[in-house]
A and B are shown apart, each in its own frame.
Chain A
Amino acid sequence: MAASGGVSSSVPRVLTLWCPEWPAYVVPPVQEPLIVLDQHRVIAACPRARHAGVRTGDRRRTALRACPNATVVPRDYSAEVQAFERVVSAVAEIIPLVELLEPGSLCLDMRGPTRYFGGERFVVDHVRSVVENQLGAEVPIGIGIADGRAASAIAARRSGAVHRPVIVEPGRTAAAFTTMSLRWLHAIGEMSIELVELLDRLGIRAVGDLAALNERDVLTRFGLPGVRAYRVATGADEQPLSSVAPSQLPERERRFEEPVLSVTPVVFSARELAAELVQELAMEGLVCTRITVAAETEHSERTERHWYRSEGFTAAAMIDRVRWQLDAWINESSAVSAGVIVLRISVTAVRPDDGVQQGFWGGASEADGRAARAVARLVTLCGPEGVRVPMPIGGRLPEDRYGWVSTTVVDTDHHVEALAPWPGSVVRPAPVIVPTDEIMVEVLNDRGESVGVSGRGEMTSDPVCVVIGGQSCRVVAWAGPWPLIERWWDDRRRRRLARLQVVLEDGSAHLLAVERQRWHLMGTHS
């Protein structure tokens, strides 16, 4: 077979399975089109919503404008992992050593299977039929095979888009992905969005553009993160699947005196194990990219899964994996009949820390350390979405300028706090409360008629009274309107509105906006 022999490099062949709309398929069926949000952005949607024009990365409002009758649900990690567990066990039955990337995505080393099944195509056929057996044919899946994880992850994503498996011949990675956008490298976690944008501004937009550069130049200009991306782009994946003898890698085990019957305490003790592991590796300048999480009950029922994360595992990311895995295992009724007595996390692959991964908060003082521990604990209590940090984003409207981002996504102590000037925004002071949902208000003149803003950007009459949430309040001062037209070239994200500041008789001040003849509350100065 071409796969096992031909290539001179030691880059292994890897198969990646990726379910593009996985978060949407684990939701109990509903009548309406379905949209799944994560951190206020669309991450998945059902085919009907997609057909209506909902796109990944849209904000809630943009998505609902495209598809007004859709049901919007938040992401549910445990349900995703639990549902995916079926797929993982089914695949693991025909090919052992399955590595989980995230819910809805797994990868496996092709060396053994190719030989066993007699060719990569046959492996793909087997995997596909096994997965379709479990999920049914209507759930879209992407299967990609290429040199190394990164390339195969890209292949799987392309496969999801073209609806057939994508196999990139050995040594042809660079050629196969030449025209693909560099954003794909960000999507699979090999490149930070800042680097993508920087390269974009320099005119390097496709994978091929990056691959055409000289490696040494990339290193001097963009440092190690640049080289990592470069090596993915050129098809020289930086690491084989297992490079260090497993015996030299750290592992931590926790035995429980009393069998533990629920997930939370187990996850809680995983916190300590994870922190120790991450710290031990950090002392040697390493991060781990692959861990094995194993748990065992009193009755010797076992769960063991391998997890891979190309950015490297932080303590929080490890804890997430432990919780996902245990949730899926314990909720599968037949699997567990007794309490958990052992939890083990083993590091199975490491790489030098190239500075991409920052320490969790990287705290210096004792207060920072305490807060970091509390944050890790809170993540186990409230879930990754429940614990968020403020981040500058940028925009002209209060809702766009700053946002809250999950700590598990950021986990860095590098924050840019200054925002670019953004001409057209309403200047300081900014509203303190910015409603997450659209709150309709009425703005009335002295005759009780609705006030509007003319096409020339003038008020049709003076606003005298504002009705917010059914409560009517007299206006004592007002200023505006300030019209704003944003992204007129983009059909879906364009906005045309006028803003108005009002001070009401109780001293409260609000920022209102009229958009398509309707007023809504944009922010409140509290």
Chain B
Amino acid sequence: MYAEVLPAGLLRGQVVTCRGPAAYSIGLGLVARAVAVGSWLAMVDLDQFSPEALVEFDIPLHRVVGVSAGDDLANVLSAVFDGFDAVMIPASRYRGALARRIAQRIRAKGVALVVIDDNSEIRVDDTASLGDIELAGTDIRWEGIGWGAGRLLARYLTVTSTGRRSPRPLQSEMQLPPENDVYGEWSHDDQTNGVVDELIDRSPDSEELRWRLRVV
């Protein structure tokens, strides 16, 4: 699903910013595969986040931990980076001096950081310049709901990725939350997926694989 916008997958040491009214879903879809195969996800200061969404993205609840950082965010984040492969944080908490300070640690620890920016107003270059890749959801289309009829059924949207190192934006049409067995079809046809289990923790010898935490 994300293969078209993130050809290399979600990499360790990378900061991905998700924007737009579907920012949370884009972020969840991004980490879903990694958590499903054994990585741990920390959700820092996302107090209003409803765990039910995790279930819809097939993310196992027992590998997710919510952290309320309080004032000492820098220290808390460094503890989080020690133990978690994937970390989600709202853009309001990840900005400015702090972001610059922990950028080095993110790379050193090999954490994939997903920054959620669902408030389109605070569109400052501050956070944009700090993320390696930006995923923005546009053209959101809800299916199943009409004018006083039906109900929300499925959401289709166009996700555009822009990044410091990618020459031109990549686009992909996707459904979020995914259909129930959307990941099933990926498990056998993609060679790299077979080794996802290993590359997350159980094969210290293949150094290169350890650094990749591909999602799709």
B101 within 8 A of A: no
Q: Which of B48, B51, B60, B201 contacts A391 (CB 8 A)?
A: B51
Interface locus among B2-10, B71-79, B123-131, B165-173: B71-79
Q: Which of A407, A429, A508, A523 contacts B56 (CB 8 A)?
A: A429
A398 within 8 A of B: yes
Nearest CB in chain B to that of A412: its residue: B62
A243 within 8 A of B: no
Q: How far is the CA of A436 from the CA of B177 in the complex (A)?
A: 23
A137 within 8 A of B: no
B65 close to A479 (CB less than 8 A): no
A479 close to B24 (CB less than 8 A): no
Q: Which of A388, A430, A506 contacts B65 (CB 8 A)?
A: A388
A368 close to B40 (CB less than 8 A): yes
A398 CB contacts on chain B under 8 angstroms? 50, 52
Q: How far is the CA of A374 from the CA of B148 in the complex (A)?
A: 48
A382 close to B65 (CB less than 8 A): no
B151 close to A427 (CB less than 8 A): yes
Central interface residue in B52, B55, B148, by most chain A CB within 10 Å: B52
A503 close to B145 (CB less than 8 A): yes
A111 CB to nearest chain B CB (Å): 45
A509 close to B66 (CB less than 8 A): no
B202 within 8 A of A: yes
A526 close to B83 (CB less than 8 A): no
Given A382-B67, A390-B61, A398-B52: A365 in contact with B118 (beta carbons within 8 A): no
Given A374-B82, A388-B65: A431 in contact with B149 (beta carbons within 8 A): no
B25 CB contacts on chain A under 8 angstroms? 432, 525-526
B69 CB contacts on chain A under 8 angstroms? 382, 386
A371 close to B66 (CB less than 8 A): no
Proximity string of chain A (391-424) to chain B, C-beta cutoff 8 Å, 1 when within and 0 when not: 1100000110111100100000101010100000
A434 within 8 A of B: yes
Q: How far is the CA of A462 from the CA of B148 in the complex (A)?
A: 8
Q: How far is the CA of A385 from the CA of B38 in the complex (A)?
A: 25
B97 within 8 A of A: no
Q: How large is the interface on A (under 10, 10 to 19, 20 to 34, 35 or more residues)?
A: 35 or more
B56 close to A415 (CB less than 8 A): no
A381 close to B66 (CB less than 8 A): no
Q: Which of B65, B140, B150, B155 contacts A371 (CB 8 A)?
A: B65
Nearest CB in chain A to that of B150: its residue: A479
Q: How far is the CA of A398 from the CA of B61 in the complex (A)?
A: 17
A366 close to B201 (CB less than 8 A): yes
Q: How far is the CA of A440 from the CA of B54 in the complex (A)?
A: 26
Given A366-B201, A430-B56: A374 in contact with B84 (beta carbons within 8 A): yes
B51 close to A375 (CB less than 8 A): no
A435 close to B52 (CB less than 8 A): no
Nearest CB in chain B to that of A431: its residue: B50
B62 CB to nearest chain A CB (Å): 5
B192 within 8 A of A: no
Q: Which of A386, A392, A436, A526 contacts B67 (CB 8 A)?
A: A386
Central interface residue in A373, A417, A436, A477, by most chain B CB within 10 Å: A477
A428 close to B56 (CB less than 8 A): yes
Q: How far is the CA of A330 from the CA of B150 in the complex (A)?
A: 62
B72 CB contacts on chain A under 8 angstroms? 381
A377 within 8 A of B: yes
B106 CB contacts on chain A under 8 angstroms? none
B39 close to A367 (CB less than 8 A): yes
Q: Which of A368, A392, A433, A479 contacts B48 (CB 8 A)?
A: A433
Q: How far is the CA of A387 from the CA of B84 in the complex (A)?
A: 13
B40 close to A367 (CB less than 8 A): yes
B68 CB to nearest chain A CB (Å): 4
A507 within 8 A of B: yes
B49 within 8 A of A: yes
A356 within 8 A of B: no
A507 CB to nearest chain B CB (Å): 3
Nearest CB in chain B to that of A526: its residue: B24
Q: How far is the CA of A365 from the CA of B201 in the complex (A)?
A: 7
A526 CB contacts on chain B under 8 angstroms? 21-25, 118
B82 close to A430 (CB less than 8 A): no
A219 within 8 A of B: no
B137 CB to nearest chain A CB (Å): 8
B149 CB to nearest chain A CB (Å): 6
Proximity string of chain B (43-59) to chain A, C-beta cutoff 8 Å, 1 when within and 0 when not: 00001111111111000
Central interface residue in B25, B145, B152, by most chain A CB within 10 Å: B152
Q: Which of B53, B55, B146 contacts A479 (CB 8 A)?
A: B146
B52 close to A430 (CB less than 8 A): yes
A479 close to B40 (CB less than 8 A): no
A387 close to B51 (CB less than 8 A): no
Q: How far is the CA of A182 from the CA of B20 in the complex (A)?
A: 51
A206 within 8 A of B: no
B148 CB contacts on chain A under 8 angstroms? 459, 462, 478-479
Closest 4 pairs between A and B when the two form their complex, measured CB to CB: A374-B83, A507-B140, A390-B51, A508-B21
A-B contact pairs, 22 of them (CB 8 A): A367-B38, A367-B200, A371-B65, A375-B65, A381-B76, A382-B68, A382-B69, A386-B69, A390-B54, A401-B50, A429-B53, A429-B56, A429-B154, A429-B177, A432-B25, A432-B50, A433-B24, A477-B145, A479-B148, A503-B142, A507-B21, A507-B140
Told that A381-B72, A462-B147, A501-B152 touch, could you supply 11 new A-B pairs with CB distance under 8 A? A368-B40, A373-B83, A386-B67, A388-B65, A389-B64, A402-B51, A430-B56, A478-B147, A509-B142, A525-B155, A526-B23
